[in-house]
Structure formats: C-alpha cells, structure tokens
A and B are shown apart, each in its own frame.
Chain A
Amino acid sequence: HSALTQPTSVSGSPGQSITISCTGTNSDVGGYNYVSWYQQHPGKAPKLVIYDVDNRPSGISGRFSGSKSGNTASLTISGLRAEDEADYYCSSYRSGDTVIFGGGTKLTVL
C-alpha cells in the first residue's frame, strides 16, 4: 500500500499562512474522520498537532488547524513563525485496522 500523497515541500514568510494537503482514498482519508497530523523537527520524535481531522491537542497553538473534503485532508498553519519550520506528516486510519502515513512535507519559513 503506497503512502498518502503530500507535497514534498511548502514555504512561507513569517506571519503568512500555509496549507499542506494530504490525499488518500475512500479506504482511509475519505472513509473515516481519523486523520491526524504530526510535526517533526530534525533528530526529534514526531509530535501530534492535529487529531480526528480538526482537533488540537492541549498545548498546541491555535495557529494550527485541520480540515477534510472528500479524500483530501489539509493542515493550515497561520501566522507562520520560525519555529514552525519542520517536517509534517499526515496519518489516517485505514480499513483493516491499519494505519497509513503520508510521505511528509518539509515546511520552510523564509
């Protein structure tokens, strides 16, 4: 099974907003509201930033938001800051009680 499709890279200037897309199929993203997003800085473990499509864990800035339409989920980061520069991965529950990740997106803050 191939990974969910994410853009390889996105960039934005401080203060701007960016959106990262995550495209799957009816068997994962489109079929369930169990999409989560993880932020990973170099050499560090992934950190949960969005769960169940559009929910933020405690302690995560309101600048992070999630949404979904059909087979595509999206992560939006508003008011970009230097510390947002990281790799971002989407993940979804997939039928058969498995999990699938996206290929990852490198966010560069210019």
Chain B
Amino acid sequence: QVQLVESGGGLVQPGRSLRLSCAASGFTFSNYAFHWVRQAPGKGLEWVAVISYGATNKYYADAVKGRFTISRDNSKNKVFLQMNSLRAEDTAVYYCARVADEGVYYGSGSYLQYWGQGTLVTVSS
C-alpha cells in the first residue's frame, strides 16, 4: 500500500537551515508529483510547494519562495524540502502528500490523495 514517511524535523535556530525528507513506497515513485503542506500549531493547512514527476516543474508559496527548495531523487524514492533562512513563522508540522494520478501536477487528478503523518519543525532560539 502507499506509504509516505517524513523525517528531518526538529528544533532549529532562526536563520539556520533544515532539510526534510519524505520516503515513499508502495507505488512507482517516478510517475507521481508531490506536495509539501504545513500546519502551524493550532492553525490551518498551508500549501508550501509542489514538484512534478520529472522534477521539471516546481512551484512555491509566496511565503517560502527564495528560501525553500523542493527536490526529488527518483532512484531513492524520496522527496526533499530544503529550508533555509528559517523564521519563527515557519514553525509547523510539515506533511508530504502525493497526487492522485500519474503524470500530472495540476488540474484533473492533482488532488492530494495520500498524506504522510508529518514531521514537526520548530524554529526558536
């Protein structure tokens, strides 16, 4: 079955960097796009970034553009989120999510069908 497992979260000081990983299994990884979605403590869901199945297309929320980079390694079945210049407002649980259909990252079939359990990132001095 489809499984997504995030890792790499933790406590980090403002201005520092952190790299999150999402290990996927149970499907042909290279055929699917992935998103990162975050949720600050007690707050709602906030979309962060998306990467297409071939990594050709990457898009970011304005709040993280220029600081965060999404990437993937199709040989290791992993998606990454490199987070630089972290701020207190980046504190959140970060979820990795897979789209429903192969080969798409927007439009029909691009809804988030599978989610990981999340990894907590706390930015504090």
Interchain CB contact (< 8 A) of A52 among B44, B60, B95, B111: B111
* A10 on the B face (CB < 8 A): no
Q: Which of A15-23, A67-75, A77-85, A92-100 contacts B (4 or more CB under 8 A)?
A: A92-100
In the assembled complex, the CB of B112 is this many whole angstroms from the nearest CB of chain A, namely 6
User: Whole-angstrom distance between the alpha carbons of A45 and B100 in the complex?
Assistant: 16
Contact B118 A45 (CB under 8 A): yes
Distance (Å) between the CB of A53 and the closest chain B CB? Answer: 10
B27 within 8 A of A: no
Decide if B75 is an interface residue (CB 8 Å cutoff). no
Which A-chain residue is minimally distant from B46 (CB atoms)? A101
B110–A89 CB distance below 8 A: no
Interface size counted on chain B using CB atoms at 8 A:
26
B106 contacts across to A, CB distance below 8 A: 34, 93, 97
CA distance A101 to B100 in the complex (A): 17
Q: Which residues of A contact B35 (CB under 8 A)?
A: 99
Tally of chain A residues near chain B (CB < 8 A): 27
**Chain B residues near A101 (CB, 8 Å)?**
37, 44-47
Complex CA distance for A34 and B107, rounded to whole angstroms: 6
Tell me if B2 counts as interface (CB < 8 A to partner A): no
Residue of A nearest to B48 (CB): A99
In the complex, what residues of A have CB within 8 A of residue B118's CB?
45
43-91 of chain B: CB within 8 A of chain A = 44-47, 50, 57, 59-62
**Complex contacts, A52 vs chain B, CB 8 Å:** 108, 111
Whether A45 contacts B47 by the Cβ 8 Å rule is no
A residues at B contact (CB < 8 Å): 1, 3, 32, 34, 36, 38, 40, 45-48, 51-52, 57, 87, 89, 91, 93, 96-104
Q: Closest 9 CB pairs between A and B?
A: A104-B44, A51-B111, A36-B111, A99-B47, A45-B115, A101-B45, A97-B106, A103-B44, A97-B59
